[in-house]
Amino acid sequence: MPLSKVNDKIRIAILDTGVDLGHPYFDEKIRTGSTQSRRESINECKSFLPGKKGDEDAHGHGTHAASLLLRLAPNAKVYVARVVDDDGEISNPDAVAEAINYASDPEHWGVHIISMSLGWKNIPESVERAIKTATMTREVFIFAAASNNGPTDDYSVTYPARAMMVFPVFAASSQGELQRFNPSHEHKKGLSTLGVNVTGPWTRHGTEEKSPTRCRSGTSIATPIMAASAALALQYIYQKPPLKIEGLYRLEGIDGMVELLSLMRPIHLKETPYFVQPGVWLRNKDYARKKVMETIQHIWYGHIQ
């Protein structure tokens, strides 16, 4: 989307295993001093799988991913689409396509960003059509996990991460070190962020734990963090009154977002893909911008660990 069109709270859809909305984590406030709970920040949960509910999660990954979005982008409106089976498989690509269409449709969720911690070696036709509509017609930013297959697999970057209009997300340590399970990253728009040893709430399904948590790694973990980073960037640039950052108002689509996220790249890290760390804003010197970045640094170092 043209970045200048962002004039409201950023809306993010997460396509995953659903969310255990009854987990105590979602009772907590979105930030200190707020009266709004994290549960209230999730605008809608919808299942695209027959016989399943969107606000339930029998696997756990979706609950973990949703928590990362809410931690890093507490002002965003989050929408949850349940499209992944209880065993973590994606047996119904048409459900994914339907979710993309629903999430990107202005008559339904009308999101700005979609996070997809999933992928295939092949290209499901229905998903390909939905992604083209979402990105090219509705101008939605889609972030997808690049896969954990390593660099030797024939189709190491899975679909939709390898689609032309989708951002492939790679996993790195908190210091920006790319992990061996990442696929080959010869992608001009390849982006990496924290995806190693990230702790978050997990589903209560199948356990007697009242508030279970799990520590997980992978590009599927990095993906919601990257989506939240993009939301933070858009909210920051177009806060009211909007901050003027030279050049960004002329950028649109993938090029504009890559440029925006590249500003979150530590200057000493020159490895490709870009390592996105929201606490870093390289072209930001004045006091107001510094205070915003201090807030983001607090979120990054204080909560994502």
* Least confident range of 24-33, 137-146, 228-237: 228-237
- DSSP letter at 286 equals S
Q: List domains and CATH numbers for the chain.
A: 8-303 (3.40.50.200)
Q: Which residues are catalytic?
A: 16, 61, 220
* Least confident range of 118-122, 187-191, 232-236: 187-191
**Average pLDDT of the segment spanning 79-104:** 97
d(CA 231, CA 10): 6
Residue 4 has pLDDT above 60, yes or no: no
pTM over 0.95: no
* Number of Cβ within a 10 Å radius of residue 152: 8
* Least confident range of 21-35, 51-65, 169-183: 169-183
Residue 155 has pLDDT above 90, yes or no: no
